[in-house]
Structure 1
Amino acid sequence: MTAVNIPRRRWLGSSLALGASVIAAPVFAQGKATGKPIKLGQTMPYSGPASAYGTIGKVEQGYFKMINDQGGVNGHPIELISLDDGYSPPKAVEQVRKLVEQEDVLALFQTLGTPSNSAIHKYVNAKKVPHLFVATGATKWNDPKNYPWTFGFNLSYQTEGEIYARYLLKNKPGAKIAILYQNDDYGKDVLAGVKHVLTGNNAKMIVKEATYEVTDPTVDSQILTLQSSGADTFINITTPKFAAQAVRKAFDSGWKPLHFLNNVGASVGSVLTPAGLDKAVGCITVQYYKDATDPQWKDDPAMLEWRAFMARYYRDGNVEDASNVYGYIAAQLMVQVLKQCGNDFSRDNIKKQAESIRSFRPPLLLPGIAMNMSPTDHAPVEQAQLSKFDGKKWSLFGEVLGGAG
């Protein structure tokens, strides 16, 4: 995507920037939000191979607009500056430097992607900028001893891999497993979780592995390679574009394995619908928040509230895209941290309050799951539940689970 040269404008509330340009958004009434703006920054892949995730930034902007309409946080409006990094680590570095050094943001919020966050990890910690609730589940975001300013958000990728492997040991101990994964820390993290459980003789259950690069046009050849291995089980560790390709190709090639589809590539709206809903029947994933396509939540008060929010603040958003629930919950956690700050919005206090989150339960989380953080634990989500796709929706089954440890 080529940046459009539009004169730069500033306003209180959220702003969406593509590249270095700012696209004007409507200004909502600020109510009592007359205090100094709380300025947050983020990078999102509004373009590039992971652009399906761009909706997360948009739903978060909508949520902060709603908060500003309600009077802001302790009388202060939230200003979110959201820049496009194209899922490119060098671009992420450039944009984050701009946010920190030119925009002087108080904190980074939900910068997306393992490669992008890896590229800025040392920089933001050296600058002592709160690096909050990164939109990736790599285990390394929970390392407060070495990276005290970085906080995770997603369920740990390793925990997710452990849950799949534990399910197989219990329910299909003779499985012949083929694994496709993105060739970076994200893909390797889920794989590490699987291998953490499948040790000793059980390691032989994995008969074939294949990788892909985010710059690859398709993963069709990898799917055929995995199919030819004779595997009857497929662990699919991919982002939305490649997840849809893998679901479609596996089905069209006649391969019918037990198919595990990682959480970040399991949206009905952005993955399964493009792939073909019938081709995803029987897929298993993990979930830690409610799925808007699941009829059991049809009359759930939290889901009704979210749908009303979407209708007013993000009308173009797809209500079948799980990313729009995900981003809403992340924004709720951010607002909770800011509320706990009182009127001290210093970087030190923002970090302190993030570490003080206890038993926080955004109502769109699945029952039995809560968010907790401390000075020694920067991972708010550590549990999930297995779910199977029936051709229309994901259906939860089993108990709420954590990692092997």
Structure 2
Amino acid sequence: MLGKSLCPAVVAGIVSAVVWTGTAFAQKKYDPGASDTEIKIGQTMPYSGPASSYSTIGLVMKAYFDKINAEGGVNGRKITLLSQDDGFVSSKTVEATRKLVEQDDVLFIAGSLGTAPNAAVQKYLNIKKVPQLFVATGATRWGDPEHFPWTMGWQPSYQIEGAILGRYTAAKYPTAKIGVLYQNDDSGKDYIKGFKAGLGDAAKLIVAETSYELSDPTVDSQVITLKTAGADVFFLHANPRFVAQAIRRTFELTWKPAIILPSVGASVGAALAPAGLEKSIGAVTAAYMKDPTDKVWESDKGFQDWLAFMKRWYPRGSLIDGSNVYGYSMAQTIVQVLRQCGDVLTRENVMQQAASMKDLELPMLLPGINLSTSAKDFFPIKQMRLARFDGTSWIVMPK
């Protein structure tokens, strides 16, 4: 049993006791983790292990909260982010999450990374009625308010993104042979399901499909398999470490397929640069955030603000790693939800406000892409744009 679910009518709006006006708040009300002076948020992040390239997300989020705290906090309260290392190991995620909830008394969990780690604690957090907000993964299971009313995604779902890339591939390469490499977990399977749906009848053009485990030392053998199968298009779903390996190996084999690269592995700093930028020219991805390496944003205020933030609050963070845009934008989303909560910092109200975003614009999302949620819609970001790598940055393609 998941416990009593939130009433959709309650989630759909703001209960009468919590009228959000932007200036006036109802009588103060707190759950564990909140007080007159502090809001405690929990998180797990792979600061070690095979997915550690993503750990900068947790670091940039903490830096953004430090900035907010220095400016007076949210409604006069400082944000404390307790971010624990789980090494991308689900058993460690369970242990760390239980500690955060039962000993550290966090108000909610936010921004924890990884499909398998988050799946391992999803039922527990829903039974405890602790919000599991803005899960840092696009698996479809984070958008199921009927069964998991305390869990919400943030980025576009992997199936939606996979379908976008599949439709592009079918239109651009209608007769090409397709090779597929994916991470053997729920995230990879979601991407492949969406990609094949987007391909439609062209799915029959897939000549080889192989996967890798996070524990694998390399993906060299998988790349060789796809080349040997004669693939002209390489759909490459992997985390940045394995994307870099796969692109390097593809180059070494003098194999020159068209590369279709899901956004999770498309970071210029964490994936393409280690592989050698020239090796990815022409690759296509789907994007929803501004690429910090794209000079088109140099005079953009949102980019300038992000750059100033990075230089002051997170100077050791990479200015070419899209994960630092991701964490920054997610932290801004959390701050917006807390502002909407006013003085009613209960777990139920946190979920109500998270499920009440309407066309929220964030400065580092691509123009025209915003966040909206409702009682039945737990995927805040649903739009994406195709982008092509030019050897330096991802260039958004015309619609």
TM-score by length of 2: 0.90
Following superposition, the deviation at residue 118 of structure 1 comes to: 1.0
Q: In the alignment, which residue of structure 2 is the partner of 1:5?
A: none
Following superposition, the deviation at residue 175 of structure 1 comes to: 1.9
Unaligned runs of 5+ in 2: 1-34
Q: Is the 1:219–1:242 Cα contact (8 Å) retained in structure 2?
A: yes
Question: Separation in 2 of the partners of 1:203 and 1:295?
Answer: 36
Question: Separation in 2 of the partners of 1:128 and 1:140?
Answer: 17
Q: Is the 2:169–2:199 Cα contact (8 Å) retained in structure 1?
A: no
Letter in 1 for 2:256: K
In the TM superposition, what are the counterparts of 1:249-268 in structure 2 within 5 Å?
249-268=249-268
Q: In the alignment, which residue of structure 2 is the partner of 1:58?
A: 59
Q: Is the 1:141–1:151 Cα contact (8 Å) retained in structure 2?
A: yes
Following superposition, the deviation at residue 202 of structure 1 comes to: 2.5
Q: Is the 1:152–1:378 Cα contact (8 Å) retained in structure 2?
A: yes
Question: Separation in 2 of the partners of 1:148 and 1:196?
Answer: 27
Does 1:221 find its partner at 2:217? no
Letter in 2 for 1:315: P
Q: In the alignment, which residue of structure 2 is the partner of 1:9?
A: none
Cα deviation code 1:240-261 (max 9, x no counterpart): 1111111111111111111011
| SS class of match (1:211) | strand
Q: Is the 1:124–1:131 Cα contact (8 Å) retained in structure 2?
A: yes
Letter in 2 for 1:95: A
Question: Separation in 1 of the partners of 2:286 and 2:146?
Answer: 29
Q: Is the 2:167–2:198 Cα contact (8 Å) retained in structure 1?
A: yes
In the TM superposition, what are the counterparts of 1:183-198 in structure 2 within 5 Å?
183-198=184-199
Q: In the alignment, which residue of structure 1 is the partner of 2:124?
A: 123
Q: In the alignment, which residue of structure 2 is the partner of 1:18?
A: none
Letter in 2 for 1:349: N
Q: In the alignment, which residue of structure 1 is the partner of 2:19?
A: none
In the TM superposition, what are the counterparts of 1:374-393 in structure 2 within 5 Å?
374-393=374-393
Q: In the alignment, which residue of structure 1 is the partner of 2:237?
A: 237
Does 1:43 find its partner at 2:44? yes
Cα deviation code 1:357-385 (max 9, x no counterpart): 00000011101111001110100111111
Cα deviation code 1:98-154 (max 9, x no counterpart): 101111110101010011011111111111100000000001100000000001012
Query: How many equivalent pairs are there?
Result: 366
| SS class of match (1:169) | helix
Q: In the alignment, which residue of structure 1 is the partner of 2:208?
A: 208
Question: Separation in 1 of the partners of 2:161 and 2:214?
Answer: 21
Q: In the alignment, which residue of structure 2 is the partner of 1:149?
A: 150
Q: In the alignment, which residue of structure 2 is the partner of 1:334?
A: 334
In the TM superposition, what are the counterparts of 1:275-294 in structure 2 within 5 Å?
275-294=275-294
Does 1:368 find its partner at 2:371? no
Q: Is the 1:178–1:207 Cα contact (8 Å) retained in structure 2?
A: yes
Cα deviation code 1:213-246 (max 9, x no counterpart): 0000000100000110011001001001111111
| SS class of match (1:78) | strand
| SS class of match (2:273) | helix
Does 1:97 find its partner at 2:98? yes
Following superposition, the deviation at residue 83 of structure 1 comes to: 0.2
Question: Separation in 2 of the partners of 1:267 and 1:202?
Answer: 28
Question: Separation in 2 of the partners of 1:235 and 1:140?
Answer: 23
Q: In the alignment, which residue of structure 2 is the partner of 1:163?
A: 164
Question: Separation in 2 of the partners of 1:383 and 1:234?
Answer: 24
Cα deviation code 1:54-98 (max 9, x no counterpart): 100000000000000111000111010000000111111110011
Does 1:311 find its partner at 2:311? yes
Letter in 2 for 1:103: D
Question: Separation in 1 of the partners of 2:260 and 2:330?
Answer: 25
| SS class of match (2:105) | coil
Cα deviation code 1:331-389 (max 9, x no counterpart): 00000000000101100000000000000000111011110011101001111111111
Letter in 2 for 1:383: Q
Letter in 2 for 1:160: E
Q: Is the 1:268–1:393 Cα contact (8 Å) retained in structure 2?
A: yes
Structure 1 vs Structure 2 CA RMSD:
1.1
Cα deviation code 1:289-314 (max 9, x no counterpart): 10110000011111111111111110
Q: In the alignment, which residue of structure 2 is the partner of 1:10?
A: none
Letter in 2 for 1:263: S
Following superposition, the deviation at residue 207 of structure 1 comes to: 1.1
Question: Separation in 2 of the partners of 1:202 and 1:178?
Answer: 12
Q: In the alignment, which residue of structure 2 is the partner of 1:272?
A: 272
Following superposition, the deviation at residue 197 of structure 1 comes to: 2.5
TM-score by length of 1: 0.89
Letter in 1 for 2:162: G
Question: Separation in 2 of the partners of 1:348 and 1:93?
Answer: 22
| SS class of match (1:136) | coil
Does 1:248 find its partner at 2:244? no
Question: Separation in 2 of the partners of 1:262 and 1:197?
Answer: 14
Higher relative contact order (CA 8 A, sep 6+): 2
| SS class of match (2:208) | strand
Q: Is the 1:35–1:77 Cα contact (8 Å) retained in structure 2?
A: no
Question: Separation in 1 of the partners of 2:117 and 2:398?
Answer: 34
Q: Is the 2:359–2:370 Cα contact (8 Å) retained in structure 1?
A: yes
Letter in 2 for 1:41: G
| SS class of match (1:82) | strand
| SS class of match (2:345) | coil
| SS class of match (2:84) | strand
Question: Separation in 2 of the partners of 1:369 and 1:44?
Answer: 26
Question: Separation in 1 of the partners of 2:60 and 2:208?
Answer: 38
Q: In the alignment, which residue of structure 2 is the partner of 1:349?
A: 349
Name the % identity: 52
Moved over 3 A (4+): none
Following superposition, the deviation at residue 198 of structure 1 comes to: 2.9
